Structure 1
């Protein structure tokens, strides 16, 4: 005999509350396992593809691990040191850039930029704040990233967890399927397939779009000789998952720096702006339709809200689980709305009662 819906809702509510409590108290402990699970989820389609090509599951995972290790070594040796160096230099020269902006505004708009003007004081304050707070942020990131424990976590525990999860991924999915409540197994499988489609479109597809565009922006800006091009490209690629925001932030930073660096050489400034215009065209017409699809199911506003909420509540671990939880809530909400529209509460009664004959 199946449990009443009220009891089922109670038990699932308790399970959700327990998950949030565990996330709250054990965030730092479960961080490597969440990272490993996320990486294994993203790499599982590649392992399946290698299996279809004739490799065993073990050999597929070994090949993926070796390629990932090679990419990681290349990043550590070639990209990350330059990225850190340019980020530090950009923070240090921020006050000088804002002073140049202040001088230019004073020349163009002398009435607005008079001595003691609020706008002038605010521009100077922004430059000083960026140097002070930006330096503190970079120092904190470097000290935390270079700590012995964190290095061990990122360099040893996460790859090991990823390796074993990727190796046993299909068996874990099958075991979870066996544990589903039999009365609701078809519905749960349907919801799980929708959640997987949403996550696959967003995390795998949009993540690949961010990587491609970030690489393109960084390489293109460095080829035209723009200072801090690697940092700007990385920032633009990182926030590309929010429509137009990545190109807007990166474009404003790049064109702003180009104005100071190439002042008078307008072709170079136009070229920098054209890089982001081309990136937007390729993203909207080629990358996003091919890699993400027409409908991801995660509205940008809802995604930003989930990232802000979970990041504020659970820190970095919250940022990791924000997108999956947002996808789950989105799928469940759409399922609840469809059930509501197919139910009597929305449709009312199928047949209206016949009014009485008042003449008889």
Structure 2
């Protein structure tokens, strides 16, 4: 056996032994991974915060505080980055406090009113249903069965809420314990934003030093593609959700529909999820409108029509201009990405699944075209042959 084959076989045997040991101690390995993940949670928060704030920071750093060479105050150039950092965080904090002070009191009032009036709404809906049944001359036995089913559904909802209370308490404790991680994450994000160029350069040097050049440049290119896709997608989705929520609030206020602010927040937030978001947001909000005035179900119908109109305006006019072609996926693949990532990781998976799959789709498309070129096969020829077969 020559030296090359001996080396390859030794590497293969080493990998096989490591794989066997990993499978034998899978539980221990997962525990170690969980502990490591628990330790680096503040750094993950810091990276997410820094990534979300990098565009505002770049705006202040490159546009607002861009001092030219003719500036007589040389010290301004040295404190340019700290000024941009402080301004970025101050603006975000002011916006965050403003949103909380404006939205939260109205949201709490809407939720309290809805919760307080829910029994009355249920009773009014029951009386309205009985009136309709009498007018339609429906047999009393059938009405009694429907009432029994309705009572069972209400009891199941109440029991579900009671069983969910321990989970809610646990979630509150988790949120409380997570505040510390968020605080550390904010501090870490300041360091990441202030030294992002240096960190990127160091990462490139390490990658080029310890990996083959073609592999290193391939990873760098994928990183740039990932950054561009996620950055455009997230910023576009946030702006689009805000515009849609604002349009919903203005429209509901003009039409004098109840709980305009609460429903607009739900509609805008759910719109962060592509395709399925509007449906997920419209179901509970329609129920809220219906329960607010159960004797006038047409108001819920008009609300559904309003949401359909707003979604058409958003999909045809606003979304293409705000998000543009940053996803680069057809509706079928967007739905596939949402269902797969959402089924595995929930709401977060629905949001990040689309840009992630867009990156995979782009890389697979590039690899496919590269392989076709190697085989000297033109995609136009394939399309022409397919057309001949169809004819």
TM-score, with structure 2 as normaliser: 0.66
Structure 2 unaligned regions, length at least 5: 20-25, 66-79, 379-391
Report the alpha carbon displacement of residue 26 of structure 1 after superposing the two structures with TM. 4.8
Report the alpha carbon displacement of residue 168 of structure 1 after superposing the two structures with TM. 2.1
Counterpart of 1:149 (choices 153, 158, 177) is 177
Check whether the contact 1:195–1:331 (CA below 8 A) recurs between aligned residues: yes
Q: Which residue of 2 aligns with 1:64?
A: 88
Report the alpha carbon displacement of residue 67 of structure 1 after superposing the two structures with TM. 1.1
Report the alpha carbon displacement of residue 68 of structure 1 after superposing the two structures with TM. 1.3
Q: Does 1:291 align with 2:322?
A: yes
CA–CA distance in structure 2, aligned partners of residues 73 and 290 of structure 1: 29
Structure 1 unaligned regions, length at least 5: 312-318, 351-360
Distance 1:171 1:217, change over 3 A: farther
Instruction: Please give the residue correspondences for 1:1-360 in structure 2 after superposition, counting only pairs within 5 Å.
Output: 24-55=34-65, 56-87=80-111, 89-90=113-114, 94=118, 97-109=121-133, 110=138, 114-117=142-145, 120-134=147-161, 141=168, 144-145=171-172, 148-154=176-182, 156-180=183-207, 181=211, 182-218=213-249, 220-221=251-252, 224-261=255-292, 272-273=303-304, 275-297=306-328, 299-311=334-346, 324=352, 327-328=355-356, 330-332=358-360, 334-336=362-364, 338-340=366-368, 342-343=370-371, 347=375
Distance 1:97 1:170, change over 3 A: farther
Distance 1:148 1:41, change over 3 A: closer
Greater Rg, structure 1 or structure 2? 2
Aligned residues: 333
Report the alpha carbon displacement of residue 38 of structure 1 after superposing the two structures with TM. 1.7
**1:121-154 deviations in Å (ceiling 9; x for gaps):** 4444444444454576588557744765344444
Distance 1:131 1:204, change over 3 A: farther
Structure with the bigger percentage of helix: 2
Q: Which residue of 2 aligns with 1:353?
A: none
TM-score, with structure 1 as normaliser: 0.71
CA–CA distance in structure 2, aligned partners of residues 86 and 142 of structure 1: 22
Q: Which residue of 1 aligns with 2:383?
A: none
